[in-house]
Homo-oligomer: A and B are copies of this chain.
Amino acid sequence: MIKALQIIGCSSGFISQRLKKPHSGNGFSLISSKISCNSAPKSQSFRLIQMFSTQSQSNSDAPSPSSTSVAVPSAGNVLKIKFCQWCGGPAKHEIPAGEEKIRAVCTLCGKIAYQNPIMVVGCLIEHDRKILLCKRNIEPSFGLWTLPAGYLEIGESAAEGAIRETWEEAGAEVEVISPFSQLDIPHIGQTYVIFLAKLKKPQLSPGPESSECSLFELDNIPFDFLAFSSIFITLNLYIEDVKSGKVKFHYGTINKRLGTGPSDIRAFTLDYHLQV
């Protein structure tokens, strides 16, 4: 039913087998741990760290800007909210009564502008033992490979959003089979929700946000040219599951390693990895 694996120092795991660049670590450790209130140490976590990367990367998946509009990063910074979007009044920044965090509160109408994490939804599609990837035609991570995924919209379910994004980015009609992963990225206020899906038709047609869409054999995933840590992790978890003969549902938290930049997509820890 619920797995609570604990594999420590598993140097033969997917990272060391698949990555081609040299790395300084001694393999990696993988621990699926339970989360405890205020007490879960970071060391009791699924650590998957690779410090070398030259790729340009950002964890944002913001829509591309147009000539008349500018996309705003989704991760909230309450101090950047200067005005009320409902009445136009100036905002003050304070902890409202009964709350614990600083909010932007309108000085005229009193409304609070809450900021919450955003869901990025997408599909992991295997077809003829190959995985569908899209080469990004937009920043961030222009020219790098990703799963078809994007922001969930108001009015649609996560599965519907994943299907829509796959259609928009790969021109692929898919059928969702099962939830595969939820990966939270607290420091940028995003949560990736990825579904296993299959092609309804074998046609692919890159949309404006993709320069190319291709199917890759599991042994030939371009791990050195992936766009985001979340995609790197998702693909590795899937391949591990396929090898083990049991595809599971994965929950985890992606934390960037201190002192590393957004382009280091392998410089992270996957904490609190839980599998069903």
- Whether the pair B96, A163 counts as a contact (CB closer than 8 A) is no
User: What B residues does A69 contact at CB under 8 A?
Assistant: 96-97, 103, 105, 110-112
How far in angstroms is the closest Cβ of chain B from A86?
A: 6
User: What B residues does A76 contact at CB under 8 A?
Assistant: 154
User: What B residues does A74 contact at CB under 8 A?
Assistant: 114, 116
User: What B residues does A251 contact at CB under 8 A?
Assistant: 158-159, 178-179
Q: How far is the CA of A119 from the CA of B159 in the complex (A)?
A: 15
How big is chain A's contact interface, by range?
A: 35 or more
Give the contact stretch, choosing among A15-23, A50-58, A169-177: A169-177
Interfacial residues of chain A within 151-192, with CB under 8 A of chain B in the complex: 151-160, 163, 166-167, 173-179, 182, 184, 186-187, 189, 191
The residue on B at minimum CB distance from A71 is B112
Copies in the complex: 2
User: What B residues does A24 contact at CB under 8 A?
Assistant: none
- Whether the pair B110, A68 counts as a contact (CB closer than 8 A) is yes
What would 20 more interface pairs be, CB under 8 Å, given A63-B99, A158-B184? A1-B246, A1-B248, A2-B177, A34-B176, A35-B159, A37-B167, A37-B173, A63-B112, A63-B114, A66-B98, A69-B110, A70-B112, A72-B113, A84-B85, A101-B153, A116-B118, A117-B153, A157-B271, A179-B249, A182-B193
6 contacts between A and B (CB under 8 A): A37-B166, A71-B114, A85-B91, A116-B153, A152-B191, A249-B276
Which 10 A-B pairs rank lowest in CB-CB distance, beginning with the nearest? A66-B97, A83-B88, A157-B184, A157-B253, A35-B176, A249-B276, A179-B251, A76-B154, A85-B85, A2-B178
Report which A residues bind B (CB closer than 8 A): 1-2, 34-38, 63-64, 66-72, 74-76, 80-88, 90-91, 96-99, 101, 103-105, 109-119, 151-160, 163, 166-167, 173-179, 182, 184, 186-187, 189, 191, 193, 196, 200, 208, 246-249, 251, 253, 271-272, 274, 276
